[in-house]
């Protein structure tokens, strides 16, 4: 069937959520059963963890943030991802282990060994078959994100400044480390990564590139 576990990654404002939804739709159109999910917050326990993780009024230590992200992931793997894969469904996940490696590893700690070890325990051997990195300069991404959030009226929500959550509010240097970190990951895990530069591209054009990456793998798997 080709890649069954597909993850979308990228800096904030890279358009992952839109692209994840469009990809899921397209896979359904060719008759594949799809589960579309996301992190943090892909389960009801995860929803509660997401509220804690993203609330700017809550101060978390670095290790608490690492562990809560991993806890969200562990629950998500056992409750949603693993059962879906066992039922031969295609799982499209908006963020997964690479987000923790990029944000908590490269972004907060400056290296990934500890975050990687913790997350390897959380994912129980379930690595993505294909990871699509939607790349964007942090400045452009945050601008795009702020605009989308204010159009959705989210700046009025509790604790958000300019519509940005606790992690998005970090300084540009943090977001630059995240972005650079993703590039390191694409070299570490070159087999499963496909990079799409989304700068100045329309949603439809990015969607087409995402689809080409997925379709190529499906074709390759069919020999
Ligand atoms: P996301 O849901 O993609 O943001 P939004 O829906 O607001 O566009 O992700 C929320 C934030 O959580 C985002 O800034 C990235 C961060 N994050 C981590 O720092 N580590 C992780 O492991 C995950 C999954 C997300």
Q: Is 100 in the pocket of ligand 1 (CB under 6 A)?
A: yes
* Residue whose tokens read 């295609």: 90
Quickly state the pLDDT bin for 195 (edges 50, 70, 90).
very high
Q: What is the 205 CA–ligand 1 centroid distance (Å)? A: 24
- Confidence at residue 100, expressed as pLDDT on a 0 to 100 scale: 98
CB distance 195 to 172 below 8 Å: no
Q: Please report the atom of ligand 1 found closest to the CA of residue 41.
A: 2
Res 108 pLDDT > 70: yes
CB distance 55 to 36 below 8 Å: no
Sheet holding 90-94, edge to edge: 34-38, 90-94, 5-9, 130-135, 193-197
Average pLDDT over the chain, rounded to an integer: 93
Q: Is 165 in the pocket of ligand 1 (CB under 6 A)?
A: yes
Res 156 pLDDT > 80: no
pTM of the model: 0.94
Q: Is 12 in the pocket of ligand 1 (CB under 6 A)?
A: yes
CB distance 179 to 199 below 8 Å: no
Q: Is 99 in the pocket of ligand 1 (CB under 6 A)?
A: yes
Q: What is the 149 CA–ligand 1 centroid distance (Å)? A: 14
Q: What is the 166 CA–ligand 1 centroid distance (Å)? A: 10
d(CA 155, CA 150) in angstroms, rounded, equals 6
Please name the residue ranges forming H helices in the chain. Answer: 16-29, 44-54, 62-76, 82-86, 97-99, 113-123, 138-151, 172-188, 203-221
Selected residue with higher pLDDT from 34 and 220: 34
- Confidence at residue 77, expressed as pLDDT on a 0 to 100 scale: 98
* Protein residue with its CA nearest to atom 17 in ligand 1: 99
Quickly state the pLDDT bin for 96 (edges 50, 70, 90).
very high
- Domains of the chain: residue spans and CATH: 4-221 (3.40.50.300)
Q: What is the 101 CA–ligand 1 centroid distance (Å)? A: 12
Quickly state the pLDDT bin for 189 (edges 50, 70, 90).
very high
- Confidence at residue 73, expressed as pLDDT on a 0 to 100 scale: 98
**If you average pLDDT over residues 162-190, what whole number do you get?**
94
Q: Is 5 in the pocket of ligand 1 (CB under 6 A)?
A: no
Q: Please report the atom of ligand 1 found closest to the CA of residue 168.
A: 14
Q: Please report the atom of ligand 1 found closest to the CA of residue 53.
A: 12
Q: What percent of the chain has pLDDT over 70?
A: 95
């Amino acid at each position: 069937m080709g890649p069954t576990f597909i993850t979308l990654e990228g800096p904030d404002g890279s358009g992952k959520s839109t692209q994840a939804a469009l990809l899921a739709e397209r896979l359904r159109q060719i008759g594949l059963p799809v589960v579309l999910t996301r992190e943090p917050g892909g389960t009801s326990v995860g929803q509660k963890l997401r509220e804690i993780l993203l609330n700017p009024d809550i101060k978390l230590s670095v290790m608490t943030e690492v562990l809560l992200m991993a806890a969200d992931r562990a629950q998500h793997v056992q409750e949603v991802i693993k059962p879906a894969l066992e039922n031969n469904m295609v799982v499209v996940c908006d963020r997964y282990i690479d987000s923790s490696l990029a944000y908590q590893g490269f972004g907060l700690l400056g290296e990934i060994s500890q975050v990687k070890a913790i997350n390897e325990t959380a994912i129980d051997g379930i690595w993505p078959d294909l990871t699509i990195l939607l790349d964007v300069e942090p400045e452009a991404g945050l601008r795009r994100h702020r605009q989308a959030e204010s159009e959705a009226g989210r700046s009025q929500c509790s604790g958000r400044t300019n519509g940005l959550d606790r992690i998005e509010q970090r300084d540009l240097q943090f977001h630059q480390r995240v972005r650079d970190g993703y590039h390191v990951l694409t070299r570490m895990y070159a087999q499963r990564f496909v990079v799409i530069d989304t700068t100045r591209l329309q949603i439809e054009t990015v969607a087409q590139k995402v689809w080409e990456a997925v379709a190529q793998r499906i074709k390759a798997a069919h020999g």
